[in-house]
């Protein structure tokens, strides 16, 4: 579970170090999403037969401004709600990145030997 506020350090995946560098993370993210779409054709076909998602402009959403712990900045974003009222996606305006359940993310760690956790988003919650 990854929360939309400061409780977001709980992870579903094992803890691993972030690879050196960091350039190309956006390309890696696009490749992972494309790979996931290719490996789940049954889900895509089922979704195509079902009601399509409403246009994000007309969907119900909440805007967020969350302070970053230990830093003097605020992260701004928007979370979209599904038909059942749960958040189904989140877009960070500062980084211009959209997150969906199932996406892998890096979360900063305070441990010197392990600077990042690699986690999978299971759901979004606001507390």
Could you report the per-residue pLDDT of 37-95, keeping only the tens digit for each? Answer: 554 444 444 444 444 454 555 568 999 998 988 888 999 999 999 988 889 999 999 98
Question: Which pTM was predicted?
Answer: 0.50
Query: Long-range contacts of range 21-25, CB-CB < 8 Å, 24 or more positions apart?
Result: none
**E strands present in the chain:** 2-3, 61-67, 74-81, 87-92, 97-99, 104-108, 116-120, 124-125
How far apart, in Å, are the Cα atoms of 58 and each of 48, 55, 89, 96, 122? 20, 5, 14, 20, 25
Mean pLDDT of 25-45: 50
pLDDT at 21: 45
């Amino acid at each position: 579970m990854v929360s939309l506020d400061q409780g977001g350090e709980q992870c579903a995946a094992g803890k691993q170090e972030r690879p050196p560098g960091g350039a190309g993370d956006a390309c890696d993210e696009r490749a992972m999403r494309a790979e996931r779409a290719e490996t789940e054709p049954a889900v895509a076909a089922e979704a195509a037969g079902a009601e399509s998602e409403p246009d994000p402009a007309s969907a119900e959403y909440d805007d967020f401004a969350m302070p970053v712990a230990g830093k003097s900045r605020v992260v701004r974003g928007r979370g979209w709600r599904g038909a059942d009222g749960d958040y189904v996606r989140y877009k960070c305006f500062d980084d211009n990145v959209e997150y969906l359940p199932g996406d892998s993310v890096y979360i900063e760690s305070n441990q010197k030997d392990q600077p990042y956790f690699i986690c999978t988003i299971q759901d979004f919650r606001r507390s």
